[in-house]
């Protein structure tokens, strides 16, 4: 899967520059953001069932040998009660209605194999939806609970709830003065929105966002805030097509407060909302940055919960893929110290993510590259490029180092720093990679390094290009020569350009030293 380079700055020969144009960069960014969202969503719980353990359920969970017998008993009990339950749901007696809806809710709340299909097949869903308008709040609550559990099932089962017109009535219940009823309505709508993009958009179109945000502003109950934040993550989430910006952007100020919660689940879901909201263009990222989340999101990179750290890291990644000003807000929040620490964690996927973020920061301006240098991060990236077994991590490290050479014309001392840290041998090794992106990035980095060396040579009237010597000493010249036969036309054209530009003056006899900074004076 290709990686986004939201702000990379490239200096390729005109003949090969076309393959790395801004449109390619935009496409890489979009493809990668989709991949990140899918990875996140695979780990995220879209639907939840409200389970109430009764004595039979407890027994079945404690004694596995009795599970099948217990389930058969439940199925038989439910089948026997279906006629009475159906009659009770449509009864004019509040007591009968309450008994029926409570029984259905009890069956749907069991731990294993709830009879969702049986409830649907016996046409009970429309009756349950009608009860959402019952004047008895207890009946409304039990009906909402039952519908929540039906909507926690398959897409087909959830669609039955939607088709019965439950969503508008559930949205109306979000305004109920009864806290328990409001919370159960939030739960049901969260399950429906978590089913699909179409269901999510329908819940949004029915006006669920505004009252859910009002609940988050009004309530301090951990349970209520936890459920509402989870539902909000389903309203903001899913993949392409994204929800309408005008429908989800009002959540940003609330999310900026929720990320200060002490509850892990609230933090995870709030961060996931910010991941989805900031996955759009730079105007979307700007609204997130403007809300003042950068410092707190950066702090969450050191949270004790792995889930919180990983989700916060995705928010950081999205912001880092924005423009230079947005990236600078991250830098100002002290993010580099946290990223440096995360480069050494055992989780290779997290290391890869950090390398990608650093590559986007390095794709910024020269001042931002310098902050990475000052944070002493490049030695670790160069080490990863040289020794890491994970090819994806090596590729991301290569991107970061290549992007860091972009100021070779205005800040050649940055290139000298990278060379002094040993990047040339690692980049030369990458020229033998089977991954064309790795080869292209390494070749481009070497081209920039060689150009910086030539600039210094011209300014100081030196007899040779010191960097060309080191590339040749590490076998790079021969490898670049071999790349003239590469199948990829962009690679072989760039290889030819590098050879013609920097390796036409013969071999030096004396070994130069680059231990001291190069003089840049004329």
Per-residue pLDDT of the chain (522 residues; tens, 9 = 90+): 444 444 332 223 333 322 333 344 334 444 444 443 444 444 456 777 666 555 444 444 445 555 554 556 667 888 899 999 999 999 999 999 999 999 999 999 887 889 999 999 999 999 999 999 999 999 999 999 999 999 999 999 999 999 999 999 999 999 999 999 999 999 999 999 999 999 999 999 999 999 999 999 998 899 999 999 999 999 998 667 899 999 999 999 999 999 999 999 999 999 999 999 999 889 999 999 999 999 999 999 999 999 999 999 999 999 999 999 999 999 999 999 999 999 999 999 999 999 999 999 999 999 999 999 999 999 999 999 999 999 999 999 999 999 999 999 999 999 999 999 999 999 999 999 999 999 999 999 999 999 999 998 998 999 999 999 999 999 999 999 999 999 999 999 999 999 999 998 654 445 555 444 443 333
From 333, 361, 391, give the residue that closes a domain: 333
From 128, 163, 193, give the residue that closes a domain: 193
Query: Domains in the chain: how many in total?
Result: 3
Residues 377 and 423 in one domain: yes
pTM of the model: 0.85
Angstrom CA distances, 116 to 104, 144, 148, 149, 230, stand at 10, 14, 11, 8, 23
Q: Is residue 43 part of a domain?
A: no
Give the CA dihedral 466, 471, 472, 476, nearest 10 degrees. -170
Residues 85 and 175 in one domain: yes
Domain containing residue 379: CATH number? 1.25.10.10
Residue 205, preceding bond cis, omega within 30 degrees?
Answer: no
Residues 177 and 203 in one domain: no
Q: Is residue 39 part of a domain?
A: no
Residues 123 and 183 in one domain: yes
Q: Is residue 517 part of a domain?
A: no
Residues 184 and 204 in one domain: no
Establish how many alpha carbons lie within 13 A of residue 428's alpha carbon, considering only the half-sphere containing its beta carbon: 20
Q: Is residue 80 part of a domain?
A: yes
From 164, 193, 222, give the residue that closes a domain: 193
Q: Is residue 36 part of a domain?
A: no
Residues 286 and 319 in one domain: yes
| Measured distance CA(317)–CA(412) in Å, rounded | 28
Q: Is residue 373 part of a domain?
A: yes
Residues 324 and 435 in one domain: no
Its domain, for residue 227, covers 198-333
Short-list 311, 254, 237, CA closest to 46:
237
Q: Is residue 15 part of a domain?
A: no
Residues 183 and 224 in one domain: no
């Amino acid at each position: 899967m290709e990686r986004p380079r939201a702000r990379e700055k490239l200096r390729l020969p005109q003949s090969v520059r076309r393959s790395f144009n801004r449109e390619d960069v935009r496409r890489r960014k979009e493809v990668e953001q989709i991949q990140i969202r899918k990875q996140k969503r695979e780990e995220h719980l879209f639907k939840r069932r409200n389970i109430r353990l009764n004595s039979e359920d407890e027994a079945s969970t404690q004694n596995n040998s009795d599970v099948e017998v217990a389930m058969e008993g439940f199925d038989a009990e439910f089948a026997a009660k279906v006629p009475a339950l159906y009659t009770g749901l449509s009864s004019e007696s509040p007591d009968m209605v309450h008994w029926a809806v409570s029984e259905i809710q009890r069956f749907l709340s069991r731990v294993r194999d709830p009879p969702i299909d049986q409830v649907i097949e016996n046409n009970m869903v429309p009756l349950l939806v009608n009860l959402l308008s019952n004047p008895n709040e207890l009946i409304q609550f039990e009906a909402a609970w039952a519908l929540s559990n039906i909507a926690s099932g398959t897409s087909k089962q959830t669609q039955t709830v939607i088709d019965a017109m439950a969503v508008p009535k559930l949205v109306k219940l979000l305004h109920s003065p009864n806290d328990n009823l409001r919370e159960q309505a939030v739960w049901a709508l969260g399950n429906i929105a978590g089913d699909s993009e179409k269901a999510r958009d329908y819940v949004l179109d029915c006006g669920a966002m505004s009252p859910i945000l009002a609940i988050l502003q009004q309530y301090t109950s951990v349970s209520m805030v936890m459920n509402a934040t989870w539902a909000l993550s389903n309203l903001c989430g899913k993949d392409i097509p994204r929800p309408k910006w005008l429908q989800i952007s009002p959540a940003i100020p609330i999310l900026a407060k929720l990320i200060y919660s002490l509850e892990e689940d609230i933090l995870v879901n709030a961060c996931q909302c910010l991941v989805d909201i900031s996955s759009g263009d730079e105007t979307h990222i700007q609204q997130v940055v403007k809300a003042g989340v950068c410092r707190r999101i950066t702090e969450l990179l050191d949270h004790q919960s792995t889930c919180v750290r990983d989700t916060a890291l995705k928010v950081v990644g999205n912001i880092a893929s924005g423009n230079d000003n947005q990236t600078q807000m991250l830098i100002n929040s002290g993010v580099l110290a946290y990223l440096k620490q995360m480069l050494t964690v055992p989780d290779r996927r997290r290391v890869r993510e950090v390398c990608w973020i650093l590559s986007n920061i390095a794709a910024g301006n020269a001042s931002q590259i310098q902050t990475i240098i000052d944070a002493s991060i490049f030695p670790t990236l160069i080490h990863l490029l040289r020794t890491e077994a994970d090819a994806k991590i090596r590729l991301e490290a290569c991107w970061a180092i290549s992007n860091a050479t972009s100021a070779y014309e205005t800040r050649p001392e940055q290139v000298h720093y990278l060379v002094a840290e040993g990047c040339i041998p690692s980049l030369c090794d990458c020229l033998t990679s089977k991954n064309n992106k790795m080869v292209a990035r390494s070749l481009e980095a070497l081209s920039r390094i060689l150009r910086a060396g030539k600039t210094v040579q011209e300014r100081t009237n030196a007899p040779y290009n010191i960097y060309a010597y080191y590339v040749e000493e590490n076998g790079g010249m021969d490898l670049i020569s071999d790349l003239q036969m590469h199948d990829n036309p962009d690679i072989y054209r760039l290889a030819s350009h590098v050879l013609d530009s920097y390796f036409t003056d013969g071999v030096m006899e004396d070994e130069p030293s680059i231990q001291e900074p190069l003089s840049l004076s004329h």
